[in-house]
Amino acid sequence: QFQHTDEFKLYSKRGKIFDRNGTELAISLIEKTVYANPREVLDPSYQAEVLSTILGIEKGELELKLGDKELGFVYLKRKIAAEEAEEVAKLDLDGIYIQDETKRYYPQNELAAQVVGFTGTDDNGLYGIEIQYENILRGVDGRAIAEKDVFGNVLPGNIKSYIDPVDGKDIALTIDSQIQYITEKNLEEVCTKYNAPGATAIVMDPKNGEIFAMATYPGFDPNNYQDYDAYSYKAGAISFTYEPGSTFKIINVAGALDNNTVGKDQ
């Protein structure tokens, strides 16, 4: 089995998220996904056994998927390393295929994580800017019918139909990564010093309201968001309701100073 005709998605790229200086906060990478057409699988038990070691999935689970002849398509493992995909391809198993998929990656890790947010397995926004601007960031997938080799590569000259994917648009934030980093570090130091469970801070340009930093401690790494409690995903400055109380006195004093009602020494 060296080639086959297949209808498949042409995945669009999700738009990038940048800070105000062009630093990448969220990008999309291409990874491999292994899927199967159970109707073409000749020996579910054998294939499940050899794939189990490579994919790190229980043989029984794989055998159930591969043995279901009512299915024409089923994911075996999504977004795996290129090395794993190559091992699967070399087996040249009937009904087992590989395709490209995009995976969201956050190169700055925990930096501004509560602001940027993260996406799910299907690249849909779940938190932060990622969900707030889903309609802008998300692209439109295309489709094609073509002959592919066992590695999932389209064979030149064998494309039968093709609809171009439309990539999502990029977004630039007012966040300054350096100021954000300093703010987050200061919050961490303060919480450590006073044994506080958490803290939040905003750095804003008072002239135009642009937000240079919006930090919450503790943070999380959106590349591994599933390892954290959902409480960590929230930006403390905008996700919770607080009574102004004494904090509003700053506004009153600032107004009084601006109107010369009081002096700086009073």
Is 28 catalytic? The answer is no
Closest among 17, 62, 14 to 41, alpha carbons compared: 62
Owning domain of residue 219: 172-259
Check the CA dihedral 170-172-175-178 and report its sign: positive
Residue 194 reports pLDDT greater than 70: yes
51 three-state secondary structure:
helix
| Per annotation, catalytic residue among 28, 45, 161, 246 | 246
250: three-class secondary structure by DSSP: helix
The H or E element that residue 204 is part of is strand 199-204
Say what the pTM is.
0.75
The span from the first CA to the last CA of the chain, in angstroms, equals 86
- Indicate whether 159 belongs to any domain: no
Q: Assess if residue 88 is contained within a domain.
A: no
Greatest Cα-to-Cα distance within the chain, rounded to the nearest angstrom: 87
Q: Mind listing the pLDDT tens digit for each residue in 66-96?
A: 999 888 889 999 988 889 999 999 998 988 9
Contact between 168 and 137 under an 8 Å Cβ cutoff? The reply is yes
Please classify residue 252 by burial: count the beta carbons closer than 10 Å to its beta carbon, then call 0-12 exposed, 13-18 middle and 19+ buried: exposed
pLDDT single digits (tens) 160-189:
677 888 999 999 999 999 999 999 999 999
The confidence band for 250, taking pLDDT boundaries of 50, 70 and 90, is confident
Token pair listed for 79: 């977004």
- Structural domain includes residue 82: no
- Indicate whether 243 belongs to any domain: yes
Domain total in the chain: 1
197 domain-assigned: yes
* Residue 24 covered by a domain: no
26 located within any domain: no
Nearest to 66 by CA among 46, 44, 88, 92: 44
For the stretch 111-153, pLDDT in tens is 999 999 999 988 899 999 999 999 999 999 888 777 766 555 6
Residue 18 within any structural domain of the chain: no
- Which sign, positive or negative, has the C-alpha torsion 242, 243, 247, 253? positive
- Residue 8: how many other CB atoms lie within 10 Å: 18
- For residue 159, the model assigns a pLDDT of 67
